[in-house]
Amino acid sequence: MADLVASSEDVRIYECAVLYPYALPQKEEAQIVKEIEGYFDEVGAKLIAKDAWGRRGLAYPIKGAKEANVTIYYYEMDPLKLKEVDQSMKISKGILRHLLVKPPKHYQIVKYADAYAQWLTERESIGQKRTREKQEKLQEAVAAKARRKATQSKPVKKAEKSAEAMSGEAISEGIEKLISDDSLL
């Protein structure tokens, strides 16, 4: 992002934070936003950026509202017209609170709405990563259990190998012994 720099010496850049009630019908909300932007248009201000933060909880109720929509505007305007915009916003019934400030030199606009959207995608990726790690741990546990069972069954395999290592005579004697055993029939 580039630094905020005014286009001439006669104008300055101002940041304006505006809070208006949350639970409004779309038509009324659009009317309030149009009214806010109209105050700046009346004094010939030029919109540089707009960052709609959306619904936010308030630390304390303002005019009975516990939640508000927050929008941050960046306008380039004549400093002599600032008081006029401030007074217009103070008497507006749709605005809960507003704050006009001059950003410091070399201030860069970082849109909260964009940063929040990026965080949501990263958070989703982190959730997917955790799920994958859980699956890998589960697969490792299953593999470890299978290895333990395999080591426990090795003595049986050794007995089979020792039977294979027996001579042919010993095997034939063992078979005849089993055949002659009457208890098996």
CA distance 43 to 131: 55
Tokens standing for 10?
Answer: 């006669």
Domain co-membership, 77 together with 138 = no
How many independent structural domains does the chain possess? 2
Residues 28 and 42 sit within 8 Å (Cβ to Cβ): no
Interval 87-121: pLDDT, tens = 999 998 889 999 999 988 888 887 887 887 788 77
| Last residue within a domain, chosen from 78, 105, 132 | 105
Asked if residue 100 belongs to a domain, the reply is yes
Amino acid at 118: Q
pTM greater than the 0.85 cutoff: no
Which of 72, 105, 138 is the C-terminal boundary of a domain? 105
Give residue 128's domain range: 117-176
Grade residue 158 by pLDDT with cuts at 50, 70 and 90.
Answer: low
In a domain, 63, yes or no: yes
